[in-house]
Chain A
Amino acid sequence: MSKIANRPDWADDDEFDDPNALPPQTVTTNKDGTKTVISYRFDDSGKRIKTTRRIRTTIKKETVNPRVAERRAWSKFGLEKGHAAGPSFDTTSVGENIIFRPSVTWKKDGKEEKKVGDDPKEKLKNMKVKCRICDGEHFTARCPFKGTMAPMGEDGAGGAGAGATADGSDDGQPKEGGLGTGGGGYVPPHLRKGAAGAGERMGGKYERDDLATLRVTNVSEFAEENDLREIFERFGRVNRVFLAKDRETQRAKGFAFISFQERSDAAKACEKIDGYGYGHLILRVEFAKRAT
């Protein structure tokens, strides 16, 4: 087949003196020892492209152990018998670049890196438990004065926050507790002082992290929740992965929601994964719109 294809067809003969034919490559030696190579080619749209390259040849001498040099010339044997010199692609490949810098403080550096991606458990460790009734260091439910004393907020003692909130977080919303101070009757938990945020909205426990939730569309039919989790987990802590599945066939319907712990992680993931090829499809990632 190829032989016939390579032989010039008589019908194409006149093309040889075609003005469109490419001029031959020219090589000129310059005064400063460099070479200029000018070559021509056609690009995809049929335009003629002239390429000028200047090449400087430097001779670098390297001393090689004669025994090693001799072995380099050995012919191959076994499974490699008859193969050409040079590494073959099916056995040899180059890995990704590894940065290896020995250092005395290697262990310490590694730990600091871990701290940056703060662990929620670590955060909790430093948190102090404060009783809402007597301000002591125990949970409200275990307070010895439970039932005998009114919670601190009730008589306007102010200042103190609830159960396990980090200090400072309740300073921002002093007004909320104010609602409960008036009557002295029953105050629903979400209106009590310091019950910041969490009880404000009704709805599923996921609703509040809407801000850090991504909607992923164009997901392959054969995707699994775990695969998605793996893809997104590298950007930060993933709270929830929801992959819509057909009830009968158990195949993915083509969209998924990923809730992150932090909105910044979500933003990063949104930027990076949008357009990422997964399965045989290209993922589309955007922030989820709040269901209203």
Chain B
Amino acid sequence: METLVFALLNGVIYGLLLFMLSSGLTLIFSMMGVLNFAHASFYMLGAYFAYTVMGISNFWIALILAPILVGGIGMVVERYGLRQVHARGHVAELLFTFGLAYLIDEVVKIIWGRTAVDYQVPAALDFPLFTLYGAQYPAYRIFILVVAIFMLVALWYLLKKTRAGLIIQAALSHPHMVGHLGHNVPAIFMAVFGAGCALAALAGVIGGNYFITDPAMAVQMGPIVFVVVVVGGLGSLEGAFIAAMLIGLLQTSAISINASLADIFGFLGLSPDSEVGEITIASMGPMLPFLLLVVVLMVRPRGLMGDREV
């Protein structure tokens, strides 16, 4: 029971963080049809910017400033980079974002060094909030939960209840029609790209000190975010939400299961000393998202909730 509750709580937090990252990517992906390889790099930039801003002021300013800065960078990237390559098709765009991810990694290493920076949880949030089964639960995790849910509701409201959201949704599926109606579609693309990057950065600001802020964080997070977007389905925020929660729960609960394959398949005669039998579920945790990705792309290419194929 204890393990289950903790795995559930941590899984939900991780899932919400994943969703914050993938919501922006889903919007960009469904709008431009290109997976932004550098999306997780913006997440990393968010964490590093927050670290630097926190050094000269405080966490709350960083929480607002870092996403805005990263969003601005994202808009510049879209305007002067992606739009140039767009005419040459999706493969060129994918390659561009791949190169961009590479560049951001290297720039981060040059500016902030190759080792992890000491980006800490702000003192105001660094206390145990409640005690559960004798173990203290840090307040910062609940803070992540609150920020993520707030963002989720705000995003939902913006997209579903406002006129701007209506236009964005229309531009997702029928960009030409929206253009004919007199809206500046390239500007919408740029704004959505910037907003998506800002969301990723926000995830970086609140996730960077929860996990660890080092130059490898983009490479670790990037592929998992892709998995979320593809599994969730193209153009579907609901799908991305479900997929993010699914993967969050799957990974965190896998880590807390100590059983080995021999314990599970022992009845088939798998010996616990054999190499396959020795593998624990916990050690398989990092592989699960990719297994899910490959299976979903083969079996159900439109993802859980997508309305069209990738």
**Chains A and B bind each other:** no
Interface residues of A (CB under 8 A from B): none
